[in-house]
């Protein structure tokens, strides 16, 4: 049974020939990260970021979530147990982005990082969002952020979004 016919063009819908566009409600459901040690990874994702362990299978895999979802993050050692940390150069995951609903929730996460004395790699105001950047214990990039309401996003005259990168005042965020 074939899925693509000779007359089909990848990236278009068969009915109209128009470019395919992902539905507006499409979301990234979860991410799986290869880690070198489940306990070390849980020390970060569970104990510092506050995710709840939904299931754990020994030292091979742990599924963590917020709000009772089956899992937002899968942590596995299937190909990485005791291995090297994530590499900085080359293709691969740049970072996992964890979205908080409000600025106050992002401030709460920052307060937790400060209390744990966890190193922060950077932070930024992108116009559409405010973000904190760090690495998990295996060197996987993690972004903690909140989105401003779309009505507050910086726009060009033609209506396109004009993101930028400016300094984020972490003290003002902590005061939130």
The radius of gyration computed from the CA coordinates of the chain, to the nearest angstrom, equals 20
Taking only the tens place, the pLDDT of each residue in 95-116 is 999 999 999 999 999 999 999 9
pLDDT at 36: 97
Confidence tier at 27 by pLDDT (50, 70, 90) = confident
Q: What are phi and psi of 54, to 5 degrees?
A: -95, -35
**For residue 14, pLDDT beyond 80:** no
Q: 64: part of which helix (H) or strand (E)?
A: strand 61-65
What pLDDT, on the 0 to 100 scale, is given for residue 85? 92
| Mean pLDDT across the chain | 92
Alpha-carbon distance values, 35 to 25, 74, 78, 85, 135 (Å) = 30, 10, 9, 8, 12
Distance from C-alpha of 21 to C-alpha of 113, rounded to nearest angstrom: 38
Per-residue pLDDT at 159 exceeds 60: yes
User: What pLDDT, on the 0 to 100 scale, is given for residue 29?
Assistant: 87
pLDDT digits (tens, 9 = 90+) for 74-90: 999 999 999 999 998 99
Distance CA 1, CA 9 (A): 18
Answer yes or no: are the C-beta atoms of 88 and 67 closer than 8 Å. Answer: no
Please state, for a pLDDT cut of 70, what percent of the chain lies above it. Answer: 91
């Amino acid at each position: 049974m074939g899925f693509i016919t000779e007359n089909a063009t990848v990236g278009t819908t068969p009915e109209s020939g128009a470019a395919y566009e992902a539905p507006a409600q499409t979301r990234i459901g979860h991410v799986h990260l290869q880690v070198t040690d489940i306990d070390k990874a849980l020390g970060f994702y569970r104990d510092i970021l506050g995710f709840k362990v939904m299931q754990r299978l020994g030292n091979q895999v742990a599924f963590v979530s917020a709000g009772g979802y089956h899992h937002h993050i899968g942590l596995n050692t299937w190909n990485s147990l005791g291995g090297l940390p994530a590499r900085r150069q080359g293709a691969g995951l740049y970072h996992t982005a964890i979205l908080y609903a409000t600025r106050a929730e992002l401030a709460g996460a920052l307060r937790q990082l400060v209390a744990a004395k966890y190193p922060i790699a950077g932070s930024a105001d992108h116009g559409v969002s405010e973000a904190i950047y760090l690495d998990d214990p295996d060197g996987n990039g993690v972004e903690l952020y909140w989105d401003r309401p779309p009505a507050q996003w910086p726009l060009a005259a033609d209506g396109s979004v004009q993101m930028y990168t400016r300094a984020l005042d972490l003290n003002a965020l902590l005061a939130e």
